[in-house]
Amino acid sequence: MTYLDMYRAGAEAFGREAAAHLADVLARADIIFDRTSCVVWRIKTDAAIQAKLSAARSLGEAGLPAIKDFVGIRVIATHLGLLDNAVAKVSEWSRCVHLIKTGVQDSYAIPRPGGYRAVHLNYQMPASNRWNLPTLVSTEVQVTTWLQCLHGGISHAFYYKANSPPDSAEVETIRTLSDKLYGVDLEVATILRALEHDREQKPANRAG
């Protein structure tokens, strides 16, 4: 029996519940605009798990190591101006389900080698949970934006999963695209905030 076989049912139940709960919380806060496509989840494949287990053994780790991001959840905020609110809502949700935070990586401040930007929140299960998952089953929630999600797909194809390693020019092109999308994301945030401000002022103007 594989690692995935042992914990698949509980992990899938948790993933479904977590995504639905997060989508509801984020939609009510106007951080996402679509519940189905803006909060997505997956569990690791057997091949990915075995690769991580092999790497862990080669490092001499004792016992069965935790599988980082065994359950992966991606939250896609509408624009960069909502990123901090999205992270705060995810943290609030994690406390509600009693997850144990084990780390935060902010690759908006320091992008990944392929240029991908997201806030990575890592959690472990509490010792007792209704999904019957052990504490070594970990969850990673990536919080990003629509434009960086677009870049993530591109960097995944041309950098992380390319048939051959990208050359330095290709890497620079992918990173430059990330920087440009970051700038557009900031501009989108500014424009939408201005529109929201104007909309809020209209009732007050009519009342006056």
CATH number, domain with residue 182: 3.30.460.10
Residue 50: the pLDDT is 74
Instruction: Give the whole-angstrom CA distance, residue 82 versus residue 207.
Output: 30
Euclidean distance between CA atoms 142 and 139, whole angstroms: 10
pLDDT at 55: 63
95 three-state secondary structure: helix
pLDDT value of residue 56:
57
- What is the pLDDT, as a whole number, of residue 131? 93
Give the phi and the psi of residue 97 in degrees, each rounded to 5: -100, 10
Closest CA to 121 of 78, 56, 74: 74
pLDDT tens for the chain, 208 residues: list them. 666 778 889 999 999 999 999 999 999 999 998 888 999 999 988 777 777 666 655 443 334 556 778 899 999 999 999 999 999 999 999 999 999 999 999 998 788 888 899 999 999 999 889 999 988 788 999 999 999 999 999 988 888 777 788 888 988 999 999 999 999 999 999 999 899 888 888 765 555 5
What would the two tokens of residue 205 be? 């103007």
Helix (H, G, I), strand (E, B) or coil at 133: coil
Angle at 184 between CA 118 and CA 114, to 5 degrees: 40
Of all helices (H) and strands (E), which one includes residue 124?
Answer: strand 119-124
- Please give the tally of structural domains in the chain: 1
Q: Which residues form the domain of 164?
A: 3-204
